[in-house]
A and B are shown apart, each in its own frame.
Chain A
Amino acid sequence: MTKNRVISSRKIESEALEQLEEISGVNIYACYQCGNCSASCPAVEFMDIPPHQVIRLAQLGFIDDLTGSETPWICAACITCTVKCPRGVDIAKVMEGLRQIVLRSDFEHINIREIDEKLRKKLPQIALIGNFRKTIL
């Protein structure tokens, strides 16, 4: 469904956007929307907002749409997008920034107890710790 969004300087200069830029340390305005991040993303099919649109919406200040999105949690931090970006935008860091914004107000994205015990025992530790590092503050 197409959403009608009102663009204003209040959005573009919002604290939320400032926070995202601060946590990630990325200048999102370097992006010129070539889409290479989405084109190369291995998990894009599972995302509700593809990476290039994440950056676009961030440029316009719609941080709420992004923190409410599944995309940052689908991102596996493989950093392909960052390596591919012709403008040096570190998209992987923007994803981390979005996860952090959410986790810093609500520290758990997954409930460890809900993970199947058999699976928990079988998985390599790096799978579990890696996951927790991205989903729990």
Chain B
Amino acid sequence: MQVSYYPGCTLKTNAKNFETSALAVLDRLGVTVQELEDWYCCGVCFSQTSDNLMQQIAPIRTLVKAKESGNRQLLALCTMCYNTLKRSIEFIKADEEKLEAIHKFMDREATRFYGNEVEVIDILSLIKQIGLDKLKDAIVKNGEDLKIASYYGCMLLRPKEIAIDSPDDPNIMEEIITAASCENVYFPFRTECCGSYQIVNEPDIIKDRAKKIVSSAIKNGADLIVMLCPLCYYNLDEVQIEIQKKDQSFQTIPVLYFTQLLALLMGIDPDINDFSLHSVDPRPILKRKGLL
């Protein structure tokens, strides 16, 4: 199997360990991942206006490149990128006139993109597509003793049109976690927003949200929180240190990229996970549970 890959800005910088772990996992699963030769910022937050076409140009340009790559599927690891690219496709598919206007603006591009030529896919759906049996075969370590809280955040579930699973009661992460031999911990805040980009100028919102989310996972007995969004990751990881500074009794919980956990379970060289980037150090618990 072969897919195109769109990294986006953060996976080449802050979330480098998300990229390396994801690519290693996909390699083990027999997927050939071809990074696009040329790609642009997706715009991060999808413009929700009906009249602002400029913000659609960047994602559409990237989709043009994906079409030119010849692969049917375009993997977006970052959930923000997934959301934006996917919604841009929905946007142009819903309105021919707007697509035409965008095409006019991009008249120097050799290729035109109409919406159906490339499917943007997230890594969870890709793993399911490869098959959970194949995943099970690739798992070499026993995670039975690990209680995992899967945190979905927003971008994979909302709006409905691009949701990878039920927006209110998703199960795809838990399904994969089960296949990968770990135990699932359901916690009620697993689909709630962490506060997102408001970390820049409204950090109090993030403190409030992250505390609720993290505490709920801890209360339900989780050893680790796993997720797929570099921004959620930053917010939930970083904020715990802040909270702990003020409240000594606050119990932290390590936050991992979903693919880091899979890489460990597959016995891939732990160094690719670069745990030094984590604020809450996951190594002690991973050692205790025999994964390191």
* Interface set of A (CB-CB < 8 Å, partner B): 22-25, 42-43, 45-46, 73-74, 76-80, 82-83, 90, 92-93, 95-97, 100, 110, 115, 119, 123-131, 133-135
Contact = CB atoms under 8 A, between A and B. Distances in A.
Given A25-B50, A110-B201, A125 B193 contact: no
Contacts of A125: 9-10, 13-14, 44
A82 B80 contact: no
B46 to A, nearest CB: 8
Contact of B200 (A22, A43, A127): A127
Given A82-B158, A134-B197, A126 B50 contact: no
B106 interface: no
Contact of B50 (A24, A73, A82, A95): A24
B49 A100 contact: yes
Contact of B45 (A25, A119, A130): A130
Interface in B50-72: 50-52, 55
Interface of B: 8-10, 13-15, 41, 43-52, 55, 78, 80, 154, 157-160, 167-168, 192-193, 195-202, 204-205, 208-209, 230-231, 234
A5 to B, nearest CB: 27
A131 B48 contact: no
Given A23-B51, A100-B52, A115 B201 contact: yes
B197 A93 contact: no
Nearest to A133: B45
Contacts of A119: 200
A135 B201 CA distance: 10
Given A45-B208, A96-B49, A126-B80, A131 B201 contact: yes
12 contacts: A73-B202, A78-B154, A78-B196, A90-B48, A96-B48, A100-B49, A124-B230, A126-B231, A127-B196, A130-B44, A134-B197, A135-B201
B48 A46 contact: no
Contact of B195 (A23, A76, A126, A133): A76
Given A45-B208, A83-B158, 17 more contacts: A42-B209, A74-B198, A76-B196, A76-B205, A78-B154, A80-B192, A93-B50, A96-B48, A96-B49, A123-B234, A125-B44, A126-B44, A126-B230, A130-B231, A131-B200, A133-B43, A133-B55
Nearest to B203: A119
A46 B209 CA distance: 11
Contacts of A124: 10, 13-15, 230-231, 234
A97 B49 CA distance: 6
Given A78-B158, A80-B158, A130 B196 contact: yes
